[in-house]
Structure 1
Amino acid sequence: MKKGPKDNELSSRTVSRRALIVGAAQLGIAGGLGWRLQSMQVEQADQFRLLAEENRINIRLLPPARGLIFDRNGIPLAENEQNYRVVMVREEAGDVDEVLNRLTQIVDLDPDVIARAKEEMYRRSPFVPVIIADRLAWEDVAAINVNAPALSGITAEVGLSRHYPYGGDVGHVVGYVGPVSDYDLSRIDDKDPLLQIPKFQIGKTGVENKMEAMLRGSAGTKRIEVNALGRVMRELDRKEGEPGKDIQLGLDERLQSYAQARMDGESAGAVVIDLETGDLRAIASAPSFDPNMFVRGISVKDWTDLNENKYRPLAAKAIQGTYPPGSTFKMVTALAALEAGVIGPEETIYCPGYTNVSGTRFHCWKRAGHGNINFHESLKQSCDCYYYEVSQRVGIDKIAEMARLLGLGVRHDLPLSAVAEGLAPDRAWKQDVRGESWRIGDTVNASIGQGYVLASPMQLAVMTARLATGRMVTPRLIKSIDGVEQPSGIGDPLPINENWLRRTRQSMDAVVNHTRGTAHRSAIVADGMAMAGKTGTSQVRRITAEERARGVTRNEDLPWERRDHALFVSYAPVENPKFAISVVVEHGGGGSTAAAPIARDILLQALYDGPPPLEAYPSVDRARIADQQKRIEERIATVHQGSAPA
């Protein structure tokens, strides 16, 4: 049916209205898009530019160079060496297994190494670089770089790894570094992001551990541009971190190496203190271990050998080991009695070879006894009965007080692992710790350094230093930090009557230099170099009445673990003391035969700042000493050669 003019007009108005509505809608949409585009391009330009940059630019931490550790003469004890390694970022790698498979076709890698790296990778955030392998040869690094396009997320780089040039000679002192473990993170409050880097190394023991905050330094950063596959295209810029501080020890590496070599074959500890500064010139524990083994990754066999060795090479005996000090403690008992006025230096006590106390017989080392003996002779001949008597007069509390004044039973503040406190027991200690009352027999035992009394070689060296100088000498290990000298350990005068100290030193002189002294065979005969000292022998087993009746079994006839400990403390020269030393030889037998010769030899090395002339030794010993010095020099050369960088 044909539409009329009116219908056409109505239809035309409807179309025009619809067109207008559609056009308005389109215009609104176009306007909205334009407004949004303008907003994104102009008003939000900085925000979206940043998002785009973050998509193609990564920021990575740069580990700082660890501070170096030197001896007093500037000899490096812990240094950094270049280490070629390959790292992988899981987020950039895509198919991790496929990329690692390609890598193993280029570089020969142990499957266990790859497995551990994958485990580490999936434990960490996907954008954190994980070390796949380190200590690679340059040829391997070159091969990885050549095949870079096929190794998404893989980067070969140069890092720094710790090296200890003198190996076991400084192992117990310097310590070693190792990768941060979950255990480390659980006990460290430090939030340093460096600790989150897989295989980032921190100090585990010794100075490396105790001075970690100073040695570590602070991280730097670098910005790198990556393509869509995560391949690093270029480095845009970098900000280097701050390297760790360099630390200089008071240790003398040459003396330290000599002490280690001199104690070779023994289970022993020795400490040498510089009396002018308190510097620890040597802290030797034998046997030792090579800290480089831990940095490079110790094998199961090496770990088992170290743990199953009866001489305990991992134990720092010089600072951690505590032993009954035996007769080296007699100076403490004597000074406590003299200071308290309960005995005079010339007063004599009769020694028949034993003392009865509360129905118990305490024996002197000399079965026939020493007869009437005064303070001077009691130290020179090491009479036990003299100290049994004076200890009962003065009491254990004053003896313990004197022991702590001389540095025993005190944990010295040193940046070393597990510094021992030892034990200077008194009445309160036994009641608090054991819930028992102190007995007079406990005092008698303590008077000669037995019973509950315990001391480390470090503490015995401090005691000797204080006796030799009359000052509160404090052991100092850190000489300077980044060239800044640290406080001296010279100390203030001891609050002890100087007359008693002088008499004690005279008696220690006689121990070595009088023909009846217990250490006379280890005397130094060079003019102006004579040493003073005190021997000690501490029992590790109880000698029964039956054994005494039939004759006490000699140490050499006993199993090693049941032999007495041998101790010796000394200082030299007598007239102008420069060094003090303590030596403990575990199960060494007698102090005069096992410990005194070692102390004498180390002291001479310190006094002469190198090998002493044979004329410093008694003539009967010179041929033997010449052979000994030759063996020691060969041993030192072998150890140092074996610790050279791999």
Structure 2
Amino acid sequence: MKGLRRRNTAATQASRTTITRRGLMLGAAQAAIVATLGLRMRHMQLDQADEYRMLAEGNSVKIRLIPPARGLIYDRNGVLLAGNEQNYRVTMTREDADDVEQELADLRRLIPITDDEAEELLDELKRRPPNAPITLADRLSWEEFSRVAVNAPALAGVTPEVGLSRFYPHGPDFAHVIGYVGPVSDYDLSKLENPDPLLRIPRFQLGKSGVEAKLEDDLRGKAGQRRVEVNSAGREMRELGRREGDPGTALQLTLDTRLQNFALARLGEESAAAVVMDVTNGDVLAISSAPSFDPNLFVRGISSADYKALMEDDHRPLADKTVQGLYPPGSTFKMVTLMAALEAGVIGPEETVRCPGYVEYGGRRFNCWKRAGHGRVNAWQSLEQSCDVYFYEVSQKVGIEAISAMARKLGIGVRHDLPMSAVAEGNAPTKEWKAARYGKDWLVGDTINASIGQGYVLASPLQLAVMASRIASGRAVKPRLLRARDGIEVPVEDAPELDVKDTSLAMARKGMWAVVNGSHGTAGRSKIAAAEWTMAGKTGTSQVRSTVVNNNSVPWEQRDHALFVCFAPVDNPKYAVSLIVEHGGGGSTAAAPIARDIMLFALAGGLPPLAAYPSSQREQARRRLDDLDLIDPETIAPPTRSRA
């Protein structure tokens, strides 16, 4: 019995201990709940008292998006190409306004808004959702903005804002490659399945062309937010909180500001294009299309008169001739045909072809540019003297398929991946292509025309620069425009060796050297006198009409295009240049002298030294260079890396 009583006593003690522990746990939980409720009530009564008082008085809290700073764009040396500047503007939200027309009328007493502008604004306010802010005026002066800010409490739904707007410090120099931004349109929104809420901010700027458009996702950034108190009349009373957004990515391009400026200035009044590439890694150092335009006009809202003038200009300033323009490459294509024939073994390097001035196929005569003929020429001499008959003959042996394959291997008929608008693919035609495109068989005459870069062959200045770079380097270098993102280098893609025999490349290079430096070279007047900078090149003339007449006897738009491609130094190639002058006539007279000046600027890292020109041309070169309107290198020092 004593054992039993001891067991009962132990059990009772254990039960009491368990009940006490549970009571303590329950009590602690209740205390925690009471404490939490107490803290919450304190937070609501003290910390959020103003907000609840505001709600009780009929005010409300609204969330406004804060546009991020758009990413800056720099050249390879850190020079600013696209930046942001402060923009004072005024917006209105229809749902917060008592009387839209009256509020607008009151605003017009403070800042200049014309009758036409007011009518357009009222139409836009009616079309847009009631909760969408509409920009009533922007780019206000500080005085105008101050007048609106002082009177803002009396203007229901009207909000003065300080934002950022894009600007391009170098104006026309980079207009085609960088492009421009503009306000988001209904059309822009219609192309997007789930548009970023940022795009609905009034006057938010979206990339419209060039790098600005192609790298829009990088440059745009992410929106911030601000919490504002709005009273029952729709007037914004105060800001309750703010969270800044993330600025867009800073981009560094491969371009060189001074070289780009020089190239465009040297193209002058011509309708022309020039591309400069680093043959070692594919960096595009300059890519200029002339004439150009000021992209700032589009950011600020271009006038009808200015836009009409650009559209009606026969030199097409809005078109980017460097990547969008496609032209028969003329004799600059002859390296392609020559290398295809040498690779196929249908002709040897020293084997000659007799040029009597023409050949006949199928009852049709195909003339050489030199009607008296060139006599017998071998591989490199055919390039030096640009003998058409040589290529007429060898093209029939090698065939269009091998020529087309070599063209693509050298970068023609290939769409190169650059962040620019409407980069064209060009055309390296084949029998299959013609059948699919025109439903017709390939003819012997088609191959003859293609052998000298005429007929169906089309190439852009960018593609011709790639071709010259690949011949110079012997590698499949690819053009690139983006050098770094937020200071982090973009890796250079490895360029494998071209699948071309060394002897074939050597013949093409020797012929291009002779074009500029040989006794019969077609570009002899554009040679570089400095031995360390010896240049190799090839002239080209691209027909734009079927009849052969003197260019001076026909209107400008019917004259032949002038082309030139080159690389230098010959012994250790560094740069390649391609250039076209639309309706310029001959490549040797119109294109080669400009290309030489651009090449010399790249080699010298600045204005070409007069000693690099033949002595008989130095005074003329001095006058020509003095007349150019160039930027002062002292004014383009790299800016601080502020994102603002």
**Structure 1: how far apart are the matches of 2:543 and 2:631?**
33
1:621 corresponds to: 617
2:408 corresponds to: 404
Pick aligned residue for 1:581 from 577, 584, 588 = 577
Pick aligned residue for 2:423 from 419, 424, 437 = 419
Q: Residues 185-212 of structure 1, C-alpha deviation per residue, up to 9 Å, x if partnerless?
A: 1112342111122321100000000000
Given residue 597 of structure 2, which amino acid in structure 1 is its aligned partner? Answer: D
Deviation at residue 221 of structure 1 after TM alignment: 0.5
Q: Residues 585-639 of structure 1, C-alpha deviation per residue, up to 9 Å, x if partnerless?
A: 100000000000010000000001100211111112111111111111x35579x
**Structure 1: how far apart are the matches of 2:342 and 2:607?**
40
1:295 corresponds to: 299
SS at match of 1:170: helix
SS at match of 1:233: strand
Deviation at residue 111 of structure 1 after TM alignment: 2.4
1:571 corresponds to: 567
Pick aligned residue for 2:491 from 487, 490, 502 = 487
1:388 corresponds to: 392
SS at match of 2:305: helix
Deviation at residue 433 of structure 1 after TM alignment: 0.9
1:127 corresponds to: 131
**Structure 2: how far apart are the matches of 1:329 and 1:112?**
55
1:504 corresponds to: 508
**Structure 2: how far apart are the matches of 1:291 and 1:401?**
39
Given residue 192 of structure 1, which amino acid in structure 2 is its aligned partner? Answer: D
Given residue 618 of structure 2, which amino acid in structure 1 is its aligned partner? Answer: R
SS at match of 2:169: coil
Q: Residues 249-305 of structure 1, C-alpha deviation per residue, up to 9 Å, x if partnerless?
A: 000011001000000110001100011221100000000011000001001110110
Given residue 584 of structure 1, which amino acid in structure 2 is its aligned partner? Answer: I
Gaps of 5+ in 1: 1-41, 544-551, 642-646
Deviation at residue 55 of structure 1 after TM alignment: 5.2
Pick aligned residue for 2:465 from 461, 464, 467 = 461
**Structure 2: how far apart are the matches of 1:50 and 1:144?**
28
Q: Residues 489-508 of structure 1, C-alpha deviation per residue, up to 9 Å, x if partnerless?
A: 55110010012101211111
Gaps of 5+ in 2: 1-40, 46-50, 637-644
Larger radius of gyration: 1
TM-score (norm 1): 0.89
Given residue 483 of structure 1, which amino acid in structure 2 is its aligned partner? Answer: G
2:117 corresponds to: 113
Structure 1 pair 554–636 and aligned structure 2 pair: CA distance change class (3 A): farther
Deviation at residue 363 of structure 1 after TM alignment: 0.3
Pick aligned residue for 1:444 from 420, 433, 448 = 448
Q: Please say if residues 153 and 236 of structure 2, whose CA atoms lie closer than 8 Å, have aligned partners that are also in contact.
A: no
Deviation at residue 51 of structure 1 after TM alignment: 12
The worse-fitting range, judged by mean Cα deviation, of 607-616 and 148-157 is: 148-157
**Structure 2: how far apart are the matches of 1:50 and 1:78?**
46
**Structure 1: how far apart are the matches of 2:578 and 2:81?**
24
Deviation at residue 553 of structure 1 after TM alignment: 3.0
**Structure 1: how far apart are the matches of 2:493 and 2:468?**
14
**Structure 2: how far apart are the matches of 1:74 and 1:637?**
16
Q: Please say if residues 471 and 490 of structure 1, whose CA atoms lie closer than 8 Å, have aligned partners that are also in contact.
A: no
Given residue 401 of structure 2, which amino acid in structure 1 is its aligned partner? Answer: D
Deviation at residue 463 of structure 1 after TM alignment: 0.3
Deviation at residue 110 of structure 1 after TM alignment: 2.3
Q: Please say if residues 258 and 631 of structure 2, whose CA atoms lie closer than 8 Å, have aligned partners that are also in contact.
A: no
**Residue 527 (str. 1) matches residue 531 (str. 2):** yes
SS at match of 2:428: coil
Stretches (4+) displaced over 4 A: 48-55, 635-638
Q: Residues 529-588 of structure 1, C-alpha deviation per residue, up to 9 Å, x if partnerless?
A: 010000000111112xxxxxxxx5321221101111000000011111110010011000
SS at match of 1:168: helix
**Structure 2: how far apart are the matches of 1:411 and 1:170?**
21
**Residue 561 (str. 1) matches residue 557 (str. 2):** yes
Structure 1 pair 494–355 and aligned structure 2 pair: CA distance change class (3 A): same
Pick aligned residue for 2:65 from 61, 66, 83 = 61
**Structure 2: how far apart are the matches of 1:190 and 1:210?**
18
Structure 1 pair 260–439 and aligned structure 2 pair: CA distance change class (3 A): same
1:359 corresponds to: 363
Pick aligned residue for 2:79 from 70, 75, 81 = 75
2:521 corresponds to: 517
SS at match of 1:612: coil
**Structure 1: how far apart are the matches of 2:354 and 2:193?**
61
**Residue 284 (str. 1) matches residue 284 (str. 2):** no
The worse-fitting range, judged by mean Cα deviation, of 157-166 and 120-129 is: 120-129
**Structure 1: how far apart are the matches of 2:276 and 2:325?**
16
Q: Could you tell me the percent identity over the aligned residues?
A: 59
**Residue 320 (str. 1) matches residue 324 (str. 2):** yes
1:20 corresponds to: none
2:600 corresponds to: 604
**Structure 2: how far apart are the matches of 1:585 and 1:374?**
30
Mapping of residues 188-203 of structure 1, within 5 Å: 188-203=192-207
**Structure 2: how far apart are the matches of 1:288 and 1:490?**
34
The worse-fitting range, judged by mean Cα deviation, of 517-526 and 499-508 is: 499-508
**Structure 1: how far apart are the matches of 2:632 and 2:192?**
39
**Structure 1: how far apart are the matches of 2:456 and 2:175?**
30
Q: Please say if residues 279 and 489 of structure 1, whose CA atoms lie closer than 8 Å, have aligned partners that are also in contact.
A: no
**Structure 2: how far apart are the matches of 1:50 and 1:173?**
55
**Residue 433 (str. 1) matches residue 429 (str. 2):** no
**Structure 2: how far apart are the matches of 1:487 and 1:188?**
31
Deviation at residue 52 of structure 1 after TM alignment: 4.3
Given residue 572 of structure 1, which amino acid in structure 2 is its aligned partner? Answer: A
Deviation at residue 355 of structure 1 after TM alignment: 0.5
Q: Residues 48-71 of structure 1, C-alpha deviation per residue, up to 9 Å, x if partnerless?
A: 979948951111111100000110
Pick aligned residue for 1:273 from 273, 277, 287 = 277
Mapping of residues 125-164 of structure 1, within 5 Å: 125-164=129-168
2:231 corresponds to: 227
Given residue 208 of structure 2, which amino acid in structure 1 is its aligned partner? Answer: K
Q: Please say if residues 120 and 198 of structure 1, whose CA atoms lie closer than 8 Å, have aligned partners that are also in contact.
A: no
Q: Please say if residues 476 and 489 of structure 1, whose CA atoms lie closer than 8 Å, have aligned partners that are also in contact.
A: no
